[in-house]
Amino acid sequence: MRWFILIICFIAFSTQSEAEEDIIDRDSLAVLLAEVPVETLVAKLGDSLFSPPEDKARILRDAYGVPHIYGRTDVDVAFGFGYAQAEDHLLQMLKNFRQARGRLAEVEGASALKLDEMALRWRIHSVAGERYGVISEETRQYIAAFVGGINHYIEIHRQVLPQWVRDVQAVDVVALARWILFLFAEQTGEPELARVGLTTTVPKLPGSNQWVVGSSRSDSGSPVLAMDVQLPYTTPFQLCEARLISDAGLNVVGATFFGLPVIFFGHNDHIAWSMTTNEIDVFDLYEERLDPVNPRRYLYGNEKRRVVSRQVKIGVHSEQGIREVERELRYTDHGPVYKTIGNWAYAARTSMADRVDAVGQLLAMNRVVTLSEFQQALSRLELPVFNVIYGDVTGEIFYVFNGRCPLRSENFDWRTPVPGWTSETEWRNMIAFSQLPQVHNPISDFLQNCNVSPDLVAVDSGLKIDDFPPFLGWGMPNYRAQWIVNRLLASRDIAVGDMRVLLRDNYIVDAEEYKGLIYRAYNRAWPVLHDPNWEIGKAVQILRAWDNRASVESVGTLLFSIWKTRFDSLFAQVPQKRDIFVREKVVLEALQQAVAYMTATYGRLDVPWGQVHHLKRGDRTFSMSGAPSGTEALHQTLTRIEADGTMVIEGGSAFGMVVSLAQPVQSWSALAYGNSEDPESPHYDDQANLQQRNTFKKTVFTTGDLQSVLTDLTTVPYDPKEVERQSLKALWRKQLQTDVVAPDSTNTEPESSIDN
């Protein structure tokens, strides 16, 4: 009732004259709703600042808005983490949950239809609900508390939220973890999907970097681990940063995906770990023989089995409202049918299809303090893919080619569609964690994996592809791994600062090889080359003078990037790839095209990279270094070229961190742009400045350091009276932003009955 009266008064105030509004609304309510200075709260709390009351969580934010969530129990911390993520990323997080449920198109429209259809095809949310009970009670309580924090925020702010916002359920969190891991797992099936003209649900993800040096190679005598998680800057791959601290022993910091209650990449006060995508094969495509008489059946041995059909309705937002699109989803015993061609159907299978406890495994990884405990957590195989690198304060370093890989017959090429009509292609359990490629404390005393094969993690890895099943998957070398291996081999007394510089190293290694091709082709052809304005010659001179670095001031990076894009496209169409003269002809043709494009688009060939290579965040634009798409450097970006020639960064370094595993543990980190999705927040783009300067912030990892940079303090859940005040505050802020009283967002439109 108190809340209702305040709202009525608020609405009445807003209908008076502007002068009266200024006197009554903007003064009286501003006083009523004034923020208490954080210094006052700190002084009032005194020694209890970092010890919240029982069943409460305290969210303390540092200078970059990173939430440090304190609680007596892990469950209390989970509640606070849910509330903090809602403060920073609510709408994007809810869209992640909708993706996993197959209901994003209700909000985003037809652009999300493919995602919804795939989530429904794989029953991402349905399986999460059906198997929720196999998750431990401890993990379920933790997830429920996290969801409680999100819903507490929604309850307070419901009047100013879009009408499509709904309360979150615990199963949504489990489904989201399944969805994210499915998208990674499906990427390993790209070769067989391509054989039948299909692509993965999301485009090929950019590579990431990680390495760790042991005690003998660091200047501190303790391991140093570096990670650079490279992802698209879009849902569901966006990352946030947080630190979780409980009296029960939890003390972990790092990054995770919007909507997950655990740290995915990071460190605690004993260990650090990171992950990059690998090529472990966890996705298969089965070629099914359909019955020519009845295509609703398929052949298996001497049997005819039924193709199961399931009709779904997907809501799609449009200007006229939500329209429903019907889809028929079909399944064989192997899995969902991706495509039918004549009398053939192609059904997919992945080893993560029935997994629901990734949150439980990650929570265990957040808590462990020794290598054996970490390995035990990984051995649950809830993460279907990823190279994992580890270091700890005792000097241990470790790598595993991690994944939930099925045991299969060695008589088939599992990177192509395999026969679905024979029992020979059926899976036979999973490869045990102990049988996966792994390296522990190599003599060279460093480990790296920049998306390469396991044998290349160290020069003395001891791993050989022939020692493992051919269906496991392996991977290939790349320039990034070559560059970092050479740097680490040549270095001793490596400092944290050296690691930070390496993470932002923008030397384009493949430019060495390709520039040689350009020089050779040009040197052979220049006497007869049609180049009346000497533009081709000038382009070659620019490339010769270029230092191969994608720095903002570089005048060779753009030219090389434009040439490389055209060369790759042309060369892919050439049948005689081994013919050096054919290759040189393609090199020159691509160079001519690049010169023509740059002259027409920019009016010059010597365009500084930072003039066109930008990260855009809201209304702000940041000139960035970093290697563009299609080239290889440790610091690289995923870019989109616009009509005016601007290279807009859409992905790349999403989270970077360097961890010194001396005691006490210290770290330095940076997100892509900031820890808030609110354009009005100072933390919307404050870390973009770090990336622009190729630097990192010191991670706050002690209570003493936090107290000196504390900018905000919240204790949740609020009591009922404070909920009323916070709700009114949300309305008041909305009016100040729009000069309109926020409408009652109670949705009169019925909840969609679409069944996923």
CA nearest neighbour of 150 among 101, 88, 104, 102: 88
Residue 402 lies in a domain: no
Q: Is the pLDDT of residue 33 over 80?
A: no
Q: Is the pLDDT of residue 729 over 90?
A: no
How high is the pLDDT of residue 528?
85
Question: Is the Cβ–Cβ distance between 715 and 51 less than 8 Å?
Answer: no
How high is the pLDDT of residue 521?
94
Residue 724 lies in a domain: yes
Q: Residue by residue, what is the 3-state secondary structure of 444-460?
A: CCEEECCCCCHHHCCCC
The CATH number linked to 170 is 1.10.439.10
Question: Residue with structure tokens 């709904």?
Answer: 166
Question: Residue with structure tokens 């192997």?
Answer: 334
Share of the chain above pLDDT 70, in %: 93
Query: Of 611, 633, 651, which marks where a domain is finished?
Result: 611
Residue 98 lies in a domain: yes
Buried b (16+ CB within 10 A) or exposed e, 108-124: beeebbebbbbbbbbbb
Question: Is the Cβ–Cβ distance between 236 and 179 less than 8 Å?
Answer: yes
**425 Cβ contact partners less than 8 Å away, ≥ 6 residues apart:** 286, 408, 409, 412, 418, 419
Q: What is the DSSP letter of 700?
A: P
Amino acid sitting at position 720: P
How high is the pLDDT of residue 25?
53
One domain, residues 601 and 724: no
Q: Residue by residue, what is the 3-state secondary structure of 102-125?
A: CCCHHHHCHHHHHHHHHHHHCCHH
What distance in Å separates the CA atoms of residue 635 and residue 633, rounded to the nearest whole number? 5
How high is the pLDDT of residue 26?
57
Say how many domains are in the chain: 2
Element (H, E) at 312: strand 308-318
Both tokens of 363, joined, read: 């929570």
pLDDT band with cut points at 50, 70 and 90 for residue 19: very low
Residue 325 lies in a domain: no
pLDDT band with cut points at 50, 70 and 90 for residue 333: very high
Question: Residue with structure tokens 């590579």?
Answer: 207
What distance in Å separates the CA atoms of residue 410 and residue 416, rounded to the nearest whole number? 13
What distance in Å separates the CA atoms of residue 290 and residue 296, rounded to the nearest whole number? 7
One domain, residues 41 and 159: yes
CA nearest neighbour of 346 among 238, 467, 143, 189: 189
Per-residue pLDDT, averaged over 643-659, amounts to 96
How high is the pLDDT of residue 726?
92
Q: Is the pLDDT of residue 16 over 60?
A: no
How high is the pLDDT of residue 578?
79
One domain, residues 586 and 713: no
Residue 707, Cβ neighbours under 10 Å: how many?
A: 14
Both tokens of 326, joined, read: 């019907």
What distance in Å separates the CA atoms of residue 637 and residue 610, rounded to the nearest whole number? 13
Residue 446 lies in a domain: no
Which pairing describes strands 209-213 and 438-440: parallel, antiparallel, or unpaired?
Answer: unpaired
For every residue of 549-561, DSSP letters joined together read B--TT-SSHHHHH
What distance in Å separates the CA atoms of residue 618 and residue 725, rounded to the nearest whole number? 30
pLDDT band with cut points at 50, 70 and 90 for residue 30: low
How high is the pLDDT of residue 24?
40
How high is the pLDDT of residue 29?
61
One domain, residues 573 and 706: no
Asked which of 19-23, 513-517, 699-703 is least confident by mean pLDDT, the reply is 19-23
Per-residue pLDDT, averaged over 620-634, amounts to 95
Both tokens of 696, joined, read: 């990192």
Query: Of 611, 634, 661, which marks where a domain is finished?
Result: 611
Partner residues linked to 471 by β-bridges:
none
Q: Is 168 left (phi over 0), alpha (psi -120 to 50) or beta?
A: beta
One domain, residues 77 and 180: yes
Question: Is the Cβ–Cβ distance between 463 and 437 less than 8 Å?
Answer: yes
| Higher per-residue pLDDT: 743 or 228 | 228
Question: Is the Cβ–Cβ distance between 400 and 437 less than 8 Å?
Answer: yes
**497 Cβ contact partners less than 8 Å away, ≥ 6 residues apart:** none
Both tokens of 606, joined, read: 């010597």
How high is the pLDDT of residue 745?
39
What distance in Å separates the CA atoms of residue 475 and residue 457, rounded to the nearest whole number? 12
One domain, residues 584 and 707: no
| Higher per-residue pLDDT: 147 or 24 | 147
How high is the pLDDT of residue 736?
74
CB hemisphere CA count around 198 (13 angstroms): 22
CA nearest neighbour of 120 among 184, 178, 41: 178
| Higher per-residue pLDDT: 347 or 492 | 347
Question: Is the Cβ–Cβ distance between 659 and 225 less than 8 Å?
Answer: yes
How high is the pLDDT of residue 643?
93
One domain, residues 733 and 600: no
Residue 518 lies in a domain: yes
How high is the pLDDT of residue 177?
98
Handedness of CA 655, 661, 665, 666 (dihedral sign): negative
Mean pLDDT of the chain: 93
CA nearest neighbour of 349 among 430, 257, 294: 430
CA nearest neighbour of 491 among 547, 444, 449, 439: 444
Q: Is the pLDDT of residue 706 over 80?
A: yes
pLDDT band with cut points at 50, 70 and 90 for residue 577: confident
Question: Residue with structure tokens 């095809």?
Answer: 121
Partner residues linked to 399 by β-bridges:
389, 439
**242 Cβ contact partners less than 8 Å away, ≥ 6 residues apart:** 66, 67, 68, 69, 81, 84, 85, 253, 254, 255, 256, 263
One domain, residues 62 and 163: yes
Q: Is the pLDDT of residue 17 over 90?
A: no
Query: Of 611, 631, 666, which marks where a domain is finished?
Result: 611
Partner residues linked to 337 by β-bridges:
347
Residue 253 lies in a domain: no
Q: Is the pLDDT of residue 211 over 80?
A: yes
Residue 354 lies in a domain: no
What distance in Å separates the CA atoms of residue 505 and residue 512, rounded to the nearest whole number? 16
How high is the pLDDT of residue 8?
43
One domain, residues 597 and 711: no
Helices (H) and strands (E) in the chain, counts: 23, 27
Question: Across 333-396, where does the E strand assignment appear?
Answer: 335-341, 344-350, 387-392
Global confidence as pTM: 0.93
Per-residue pLDDT, averaged over 527-554, amounts to 94
Question: Is the Cβ–Cβ distance between 288 and 298 less than 8 Å?
Answer: yes
pLDDT tens digits, one per residue of 262-271: 999 999 999 9
Question: Is the Cβ–Cβ distance between 250 and 382 less than 8 Å?
Answer: no
Per-residue pLDDT, averaged over 407-416, amounts to 97
Per-residue pLDDT, averaged over 672-679, amounts to 96
Asked which of 59-68, 245-254, 569-578, 615-624 is least confident by mean pLDDT, the reply is 569-578
Per-residue pLDDT, averaged over 653-666, amounts to 97
What distance in Å separates the CA atoms of residue 41 and residue 37, rounded to the nearest whole number? 7
One domain, residues 714 and 600: no
In the three-class reduction of DSSP (H, G, I as helix; E, B as strand; rest coil), residue 271 is classed as strand
CA nearest neighbour of 296 among 350, 337, 353, 348: 337
Q: Is the pLDDT of residue 740 over 60?
A: no
**29 Cβ contact partners less than 8 Å away, ≥ 6 residues apart:** 10, 13, 732
Altogether, the residues listed in the chain come to a count of 756
pLDDT tens digits, one per residue of 584-611: 999 999 999 999 999 999 999 999 999 9
Question: Is the Cβ–Cβ distance between 290 and 298 less than 8 Å?
Answer: yes
CA nearest neighbour of 479 among 443, 512, 439: 512
Partner residues linked to 310 by β-bridges:
329
The CATH number linked to 598 is 1.10.1400
For every residue of 47-86, DSSP letters joined together read GGTTSPPTT-EEEEE-TT--EEEEESSHHHHHHHHHHHHH
Question: Is the Cβ–Cβ distance between 203 and 187 less than 8 Å?
Answer: no
What distance in Å separates the CA atoms of residue 661 and residue 664, rounded to the nearest whole number? 7
Partner residues linked to 324 by β-bridges:
315
Per-residue pLDDT, averaged over 357-372, amounts to 98
Q: What is the DSSP letter of 303?
A: E
Question: Is the Cβ–Cβ distance between 495 and 219 less than 8 Å?
Answer: yes
**In which domain, by residue range, is 604 found?**
510-611
pLDDT tens digits, one per residue of 72-122: 999 999 999 999 999 999 999 999 999 999 999 999 999 999 999 999 999
Q: Is the pLDDT of residue 753 over 70?
A: no
pLDDT band with cut points at 50, 70 and 90 for residue 15: very low
